[in-house]
Amino acid sequence: MTNAAVSAGTATALPALILLGLDDGGKAHASWFDEAETDQAVKAAGMMGMAALRASTDELRDLAGKLPQGRVFASGKAFVPFVKATMFDKIATHLPSSYKWPARAAKPAAERPKPGKKASATGAQESGPKRPEPSRPTDWAKIEVGSLVLATEGAYQGWFEAQVVRISPDGVYSLRWRDWLDVPVFTRKLIHIALLHPEHTD
């Protein structure tokens, strides 16, 4: 086997595209995608109201390397985690000055039902039961179905809020990301789950 073949077999994905944007709450999101996913990621950016920026310079590639890696789902949307506002701002400065953010593929805020309300068949809003706040256990032994914990996709990917939806008898926890409902339920063992600080607030 040649050295070239060995290199090709051990090559790792490199940042080729950055997706960035703000969610409805004004929180910054950004992640990078490799060359094989650029076309899908660009389409996802349009669906999600995000910007797609080619990592075409050393500075952008360096910034991309400090971001979590994203991925595109079968729904066409993408996994673009939270990032610090300072990092978001550094990347956003590389967008053209004439750049216009894509329109979000969602209803205007004025058309969305208010929290604690649900729309009736006639379109009027009715009072509905308020969804209970998930518990935030301060000890691993207190984690139960419905608890809000932290999980990660892997090294350098960051830790994000996830809710426990099932606990199997053999100690496997089924989780769902709190902020990415399009992502399928995933599993973690207890040693791969972290707890939120008692004083943490969103």
List the chain pLDDT tens, one digit each, 202 residues. 444 444 444 357 799 999 999 887 778 899 999 999 999 999 999 888 899 999 999 999 999 999 988 888 888 888 888 888 889 999 999 998 888 876 654 433 333 344 444 444 344 444 445 556 788 888 989 999 999 999 887 665 678 889 999 999 988 999 988 877 777 888 999 999 999 887 766 5
Task: Report the C-alpha dihedral over residues 21, 24, 27, 30, rounded to 10 degrees.
Answer: -20
| Domains within the chain, CATH numbers bracketed | 13-92 (no CATH), 140-192 (2.30.30.140)
Question: Is pTM beyond 0.75 here?
Answer: no
Determine the 3-state secondary structure of 6 from DSSP.
helix
